[in-house]
Structure 1
Amino acid sequence: MNDEKYKFNARVAISALIIFATLQSISAVFQLMGAHGSRHHALDNLERRVVLDSAFLDIGNATLLTPVNSYAVKKYLKEINGYLAKTNYPARVKSIQAVSQDSFSQAFSVEEEVLLTNAEQEISVTFASMPLYSQLSFSVWSFFLALLVAPLYAVKQSKVKVPVESEAITLPPQPKLVINLRDKTLGNGVNGTTVVLQNKPLCFYTALIKYCAMNPEQALPPHKDVPGDLIILANKTFGRLIELGHTKRKRPDFNANLDKTLSEIRAALDEVFNGYSVEKERYYPPRAQGEGSRSKQHSYALTQLSLEDVEIIGN
């Protein structure tokens, strides 16, 4: 009788061992599948984030033969990876345009280099993630505990939990120019800073943005008359101010005192984008460099701007 009891307990224990080993294997397969899907989803989100941020990052330009600003890139990598670490995000950005962060976690050893495309050029980015096997979980103690209670259960169901996909990261909002014709202000859309502009510079700047977006290759030398199409856009904006009840004065001469008008616009942008010097550049009418013949090559056109980069309220 003792032999029969011993054999019965042995069969139960062996059966339990086989069952739990099988369930553990199935669980491992599902964990690997979930980890693979989670990593793929995380990298997709991170790629989109880097493409959006690249418009505000000084990564150089192959067409214009401008170099990469290594300091700015390293600072960006440190900030974004710091945020990803705080949120336990399963991926990191290791390098952009061959510029790497000074220190990088060795746990993220699986690298993937991709070419991302923004409006101007291709960007080489290396993403890093943890090996899939690092996502596996197995408790030896719980396994042996199951064997101890195996005689009480002939068959035990085991629930296999598939890891939930990581949530998409949400990084702080990027400054964006906001032109509000209703209160005649410029803002950055982030911290509430606004600056009131007079009618003439406000109308001219609003028209300049629209004109440059429609004519990205058109140079605007300050020593020549303002193009007729730009004047028409400025007059339309002035007409809108009249409709909004801001003025009843006669239409200003947008060809007169152009340097003063541009100076007032730049001063307002300096205040609106205080602390956001990199983001300000795309909105800033360039200043003339040098004197005499060299200044004749100057253009105050906004060559890196599209209408999607600006919000115009009350247009």
Structure 2
Amino acid sequence: MKKYISIFCGVFSILLAVFFMANTVQTQQQEKLAQLQILNRIALDLPHINLANAFLSHSGSEDDIKHYIAQLNQQLKAINLLEVIAIDGISIKAVDARMATTQLVTPSRNITVVFSQAHHYSAAFFIVVILMDVLASVFIVSLIRMRDIKISTLSAVSEDSPEQAENIVSIVRIDLNNKTLGLNTNQELAIVLANKPLCFYLALIEFCVEHPDVTLNQNKDVPDELIELANKYFYRLTQLGHTIRKRPNFTNSLEKTLSEIRAALDEVLIEHSQLKEIYYPPKAHGEGSRSRLHSYGLSNIKADDIEVIGK
């Protein structure tokens, strides 16, 4: 921070010094030109100026000279030239060392002419410059702090993002508005599922959450409670405006319904095979007694393992 302020103040000081030097040189040149013009005017008016002349034993008139200087300054003021302070020692104001003094050379003698104070900067000007420098420094410091805060914030977000990503658990998301299956960690993933398998799968999830130890065998009738839940979700689809001709019979073609559910889950969980033991209705393996003991229930699923939109 201090480094940036030092650089800014240094650059500002250099630019300010260059400005002062350039402005002073230009002003001095303008003053020199104005002095020459005024001296030329005074030279032309010499016959009419009542100056003292020792050679002619003429004492001159101080009042006449002051009157002439006043008239001359009035004319010079209209064209923004310098102000004449004194001619040949007769002055209208106090003369100090800062005023410009020059000689008007005539054939008989040299006449001293004093002009108004050469170009200078007032104390108020320097105060304004200092205030501008301070305000500019404060502004630069504010910008640097804002930049540092923004960088720190972005860095913190960048550092936290991997940790946050690791902490987000993937769960299955079912959207009744468009009848799709997906994951909460992938908004673009959406696998469309038909009405019957969609409603049956939702009912199966809800039923197994309430009855985690239940055994659902394909050789036995589907529990009435599960059928009621499936009908409830079917009715919800109609409320959402989906065109449905006939309510499906959830007790028929159970194996086909489960196969359609598994096919959709295969696409959803293609990169998350470890989640299948939670969401995948188990398949029967073998024949005879082992098949009769098989359950398609979701024994590992919990309420917070599923996100249902439009429920």
TM-score normalised by the shorter chain: which range applies?
0.3 to 0.5
TM-score when normalising by structure 2: 0.47
TM-score when normalising by structure 1: 0.46
Q: Which has the larger radius of gyration?
A: 2
Indicate the structure whose relative CO is greater, using CA pairs within 8 Å and at least 6 residues apart: 1
Q: Which has the higher helix share?
A: 2
